[in-house]
Structure 1
Amino acid sequence: MTQLNQRRRGDQLEKAIYDTTYTLLSQHGLDHVTFSRVAAAAATSRSVLYRYWDSTFDLIFHTIIYQIQKIPVELTTSPLNTGSLRTDLIQLAQHFIQQSSTGPFQYFRLLFATTMNTQNQRELTQLITQIDHANLALIDPILTNAQNHGELQLRPNQAAQLVLFQQLRYYDIINQPVITVQQLTDLVDQVVLPALRASGVANRHFHH
């Protein structure tokens, strides 16, 4: 078998393992995910799983990362473009909230709490980095449209781009009641838009 074929087979096996793990997690819950069940459903062996993942939680953690990496494709292929940055941001926030309760992001609170409790800084950093990457991919076309429409002169920095998601994640982590449309609107008007616009001004002054 050539190295290329071996690599292709490895990629297919990894996908099968991650897909199987996510199916078990989403259909039956955390306690149902075991190396034995994953190995049987993915047509592999427990020894293969132990070779790449230290524990069941390690496998679940990387499965969620894998699923999160696939998320931006849906929205970025059909980006929001209402002609208004404000309206786009409000609709993006609504999409983000819906996504947080249905997709792999619904497990963020669990992973965050577990990595904090175990003080595993490496995994926590990796988790936040992957989520930030997905969030930046979601907001990128909206900011491009805003620049094309003249609502933003320059691209805001990454810290400003992530403000919306960080605020919504804060609501989720502290387990607040469902955020209302009015609260979303206030968040965009009073926090997100000022941060994006101030960042653009700061960037312009810096480049001068």
Structure 2
Amino acid sequence: MVNKKRAPRKTNEALNKAIFQATITLLNNEGYEAVTFSNVARLAKTGRPVLYRRWHSPFDLLLDAHNYFSEDEVDDYTNIDFSGSTMRENLIRILSHFNASPQFMRAFLFELGQNTSAVQKFSNQMHRQNLYLMERLLSQAQLDGEIKHTVTDDVKLLPFNLLQYQAMMTPNGMTPESVQTFAESVVDHIVVPAILAQQ
């Protein structure tokens, strides 16, 4: 009897990467409807029970995959130094970091319509992160004497909500150039006037 060599088992890190890469590949190449546990397991060369044990739904898996590949970018995003720039420049700067694929935005929009716990959790996470950024940005603007008043949370979240809406309404996705152009227009014509109107 011939002993067949088994393929070496993946380490946890290697398995995670394979699963997350398979998830993003399916999303980008075939669309959100192709992101199923069965398809991901097949592409990642693992078993479906591995996925069922760890994720409640394909969207939960997609969120973890999205976070996995954008971890360094998000860390850089939340550690921006706002000193030395005007409030306008800083607003444009944080909005220009936006980098979600059209496929991910379509998945988010679909789940938003389903009002799932995963999308609520993701939205709350984004709101907390965006409020944190705006509070730091506006604190710097106060130190620099550009504003002397507090700003409501609705206005703090306004630039992110507008950009998210624009991204969801752009079928082929937003390029870095279109994000920059949109950010400048929104900041100049809507966000800065809304901030100053609260004085």
Query: Is the TM value for this pair above 0.5?
Result: yes
Which residue of structure 1 lines up, in the alignment, with residue 87 of structure 2? 85
Which residue of structure 1 lines up, in the alignment, with residue 75 of structure 2? 73
Which residue of structure 2 lines up, in the alignment, with residue 113 of structure 1? 109
Contact 1:93 1:184 in 2 (8 A): yes
**CA shift in 2, pair 1:128/1:57, >3 Å:** closer
How far apart, CA to CA, are the structure 2 residues paired with 1:130 and 1:66?
Answer: 15
Contact 1:39 1:46 in 2 (8 A): no
Contact 1:76 1:138 in 2 (8 A): yes
Contiguous gaps of at least 5 residues in structure 1: 1-11, 202-208
- How far is 1:142 from its partner? 2.0
How far apart, CA to CA, are the structure 2 residues paired with 1:181 and 1:70?
Answer: 21
Which residue of structure 2 lines up, in the alignment, with residue 205 of structure 1? none
Structure 1 residue matching 2:97: 3-state secondary structure: helix
TM-score normalized with structure 1 length: 0.66
How far apart, CA to CA, are the structure 1 residues paired with 2:180 and 2:63?
Answer: 32
| 1:35 is aligned to 2:30 | no
| 1:152 is aligned to 2:151 | no
Contact 1:65 1:127 in 2 (8 A): no
How far apart, CA to CA, are the structure 1 residues paired with 2:131 and 2:104?
Answer: 17
Which residue of structure 2 lines up, in the alignment, with residue 49 of structure 1? 51
- How far is 1:192 from its partner? 0.6
Match of 1:132 among 121, 127, 135: 127
Residues 32-66 of structure 1: CA deviation (Å, up to 9, x unaligned):
752344463xxxx5323212324434422443356
Contact 1:89 1:188 in 2 (8 A): yes
RMSD: 3.3
**CA shift in 2, pair 1:157/1:71, >3 Å:** farther
More helix by share: 1
The aligned length equals: 177
Residues 157-183 of structure 1: CA deviation (Å, up to 9, x unaligned):
322111111111111111178547555
**Greater CA deviation, 163-172 or 76-85?**
76-85
How far apart, CA to CA, are the structure 1 residues paired with 2:190 and 2:86?
Answer: 17
Q: Percent identity?
A: 24
Residues 71-114 of structure 1: CA deviation (Å, up to 9, x unaligned):
43112334243431012112222222xx234xxxx554122232
Q: Which amino acid aligns with 1:24?
A: A
Q: Which amino acid aligns with 2:111?
A: T
Match of 1:171 among 144, 166, 170: 166
Which residue of structure 1 lines up, in the alignment, with residue 18 of structure 2? 20
Structure 2 residue matching 1:134: 3-state secondary structure: helix
How far apart, CA to CA, are the structure 2 residues paired with 1:132 and 1:71?
Answer: 17
**CA shift in 2, pair 1:160/1:109, >3 Å:** same
- How far is 1:127 from its partner? 2.4
Contact 2:24 2:66 in 1 (8 A): no
Which residue of structure 2 lines up, in the alignment, with residue 64 of structure 1? 66
**Greater CA deviation, 131-140 or 178-187?**
178-187
